[in-house]
Structure 1
Amino acid sequence: MERIITKVKISAPGLPRKKRVAAYARVSSGKDAMLHSLSAQVSYYSNFIQHHGDWEYIGVYADEALTGTKDGRAEFQHLLSDCRNGKVDMVITKSISRFARNTVTMLETVRELRLLNIDIFFEKENIYSMSGDGELMLTILASFAQEESRSVSENCKWRIRRQFANGRPGSTTMLGYKWVDGTLQVIPEEAETVHMIFSDYLSGMGKNAIMKKLNTSGIPTKRGGVWCESGVAKILDNEKYAGDLLLQKSYSSNYMEKKKCMNRGQLPMYFVKDSHEPIIDRETFERVQKERKRRAAGCLSINKEVYPFTGKIQCGCCGKNYRRKIANAGSKYASPVWICSTFNSKGKEACGSKQIPEEILMAVTADVLGLSEFDEAVFTAKIKQIIMRGPDKMLFIFHDGRQVEKTWQNKSRRDSWDDAARQKAREMNERRNNPWQQQQEQ
């Protein structure tokens, strides 16, 4: 009987896949010592991971964050993203407090990564999140870390408020001054810019014109950025330039959110007169404050109320939202229009969009919806967004995904230039040339 012999080829066993390991590091401030600590942590974990032969080094995700109670840490979010995309098998971190001082955030993250079969090793506490009693220990220790964060926050608040009550401010960063040994000292070069802003405002220039002059002249802000209207306004309103201090104008909502809130009577304020060398003499400063009030009483106003179109209209040029603006607010000539916020604050040099009268906006919207007149309830239920495309087109995007483009047209000057319009123009011209009448109307 003939035997059949078959040669069996045995393939070499494959090498086991290395565990992909990453590390997370964080320091609490931008001081040089802390940045050195962050650099040391990155170097330590890089060497630690690469010295394990069965580990694959993925990288060190490092944040220079103010606090571990907030979720806005860019590298922390980057780490979570890579974990969700299957790029990491294990995460190493120094301690629970470095990972997160918010118990809820920490446990949610641990549980999410556990479902992805990703272990977290907390070096200081010697805890692996995938171990049997890992979550129990983490819950207890994270609660301690969160309580420590709350205690530190309350102590800082108490210290700062005691300083305010004694007329001593915390450190501050503002154009024209530097903080030296607990007091504000004038920086002559920057003080010249402050003088120019106050002088230009009293000469008749507005915030927008001053902003453009500063940017065109290449004069940076204190932090090296470009100017905006609100930055000019803050300088004009800041009592520190007259040598005074108003302390506790803002406060933090709580130790978890760290949200800055304006103090509108929730906490006491403290006023310290002649606390440091002024840049602007008191007479000039007071004149500017009076002028600010005068202009605010008669200028174009941006209405802060919420309207059906609020947050719905997007500029096709710059991407910003449109706002409702009323010219000649409080007078019989009030005329509501919707205008791009960039165009309104920075002019046509920054955005070439076009404003649209509210009555035309409502009429076109009603036409798109098949209505005889504008209905807020129907509009809210059906329209998701309106994009202003070019000078005369609007793209309506419905909640169900449909899109409708409409062309709109303002009344021509010839059509609108009737006897009533001519009389209105004459009256407005008289008002402009008669300051006494403006003051009487105000």
Structure 2
Amino acid sequence: MLKGIAYLRVSTELQDIERQRKMIDDYSKKNNIQVVKWIQEKVSGSKSNRAGLWELMQCNNEVADIVVVADMSRFSRQDDLIQVVSNIATVLQNGLDLVFINKPDKIYKADTQLSMSDTIMLIVEAYSSAMERVKIVERLTTQKEIMMQRNPYSYFCGDVHFGYKIIDNPDYCKKQVDGKVARKILVEDEEKAYLVKEIFKMYAEKKTIYEVTKWLNTNNPDHSYSYSWVCHLLSKKIYIGERCYNKKTYYIKPLIEPELFNKVQILKKENRNKAYNCQVEFNPFKGILFCGHCGCTFFQQRKDESNNVSRSKYVCNGKKLSYIKFKKSRKCSSHNIVKQEVWDATLLTFMEEVGLDFDRHTKPAVKYLKADISNKEMTLQSLQKQVSKNEKEMEKIAKILLDCDIDSLKQRYKQRYIEVENTNKELKKQIQEVNNEIAKISLKIDEMNKASKTRCLTEKEITEQFKAYIDRITAYTAAPKKHFFVIHFIAGKEFVVLTRYGINETWCAKLNLDYRFDPQTNTCIRISDNKEFTFSELEDMAVNQNMFSWNSSEQIKKEN
């Protein structure tokens, strides 16, 4: 008795898989086959990523002797006909026979190559199956459209919009003749529909989407709703009774009045325009400023007079409630850092160790202009050679004219002399034009070089230079408004900078390489004698004893 693998597939609920199972059972009993493995999947044959088909491709003659399939359409209706034939060839190469019950006389034998006639026949059958799929899709689409026309609440598949639920259609009957009544219908879910109405009402009253989302999650603790989910819900036209299917609109009873929906859309557009037009403050230390206490990055809290935020500040992400809950950790103990404080500390260190390159952004342009001059000089040399060549030819023609007594030849040489002379005049004009262009470009280069010496670099330009040399900046809080900054250069050097940022007293001091920061004690250690210094001691040494590079914020701004 042969061992067999039965492969069954249905693409819709209307198809009965038991019919295929009975066909395979009858064939197996008749042909003395014992089915040892049933592979069943419910998916469209047009989809190539089918788990059941993949499982079949992995089977070999150790599992069974033959694969039994009801017909070619069960095996695949893919448009890729070559892939269908390839799948059949794979089954045979795995040591399994293959038979389609609708053509029981033809058994494809294992470990054999498909003949040309077999390949052609399989391609024809696969093509027929693909065409059948197209026709079925067209029939189903037409049938569903008729269902929607009869009852716009008809439901076929897919996600259900919030505010609605799916129930069995009381008008559906399995014995119906035309088959144009849906099994399921869409109805209003009163509890969720109430929430939809409240969401639209709150937004129309100029509540923010964040406030609406917070209210929704507070009143519905069993579910978690996101900002983007609420934003998307406010745009759905189904709530004003417009239900779309296959690019056509069908009308049902609205949950929201059209006037309210339109008001919400206008408010959304206004808020979106405000977001686009708002000024986003540049963050020069994005990605390189880290908290030494918890290791988190800092986020920038921009200046906002309406919220009593008078200066742009950096706040550790470890102080965010969402981060604390996610990491199940304690709130970071670091203090907020004024943006200018970090800027002054970094600029002071950078100016001493590297220095700002004022030509950095003009060098590419100057390089391009110099290359343009080189090209024009090559053109100029070529033109000058042509002029010199023509002048020599004119000299030869002049000598010939002096010695020639034949009038016809004289006339011909005169004509040639005039042509060469005119050509030289045009060439000399071109030479003059090229010389003028070279002079203009040279003048432009001089102007750019002169401007680069006197221009002020923008914050973004200075930041680009920072990030070209600095790997990271680690911030430690010594006391309120007092910080240590450890600036790590890519080359390997590390410098400790002290900052004090207050209303009456603002300064920063850069320690030399003999000092390193100890994060365990929040102090600095002098390497030469291993002596420990607190912030207050270093502050006295910097401000009163002038032992380190020291500057106030105002002085740094003037130098910059």
Give the alignment's TM-score, normalised by structure 1.
0.49
- Structure with the bigger percentage of helix: 2
Larger Rg: 2
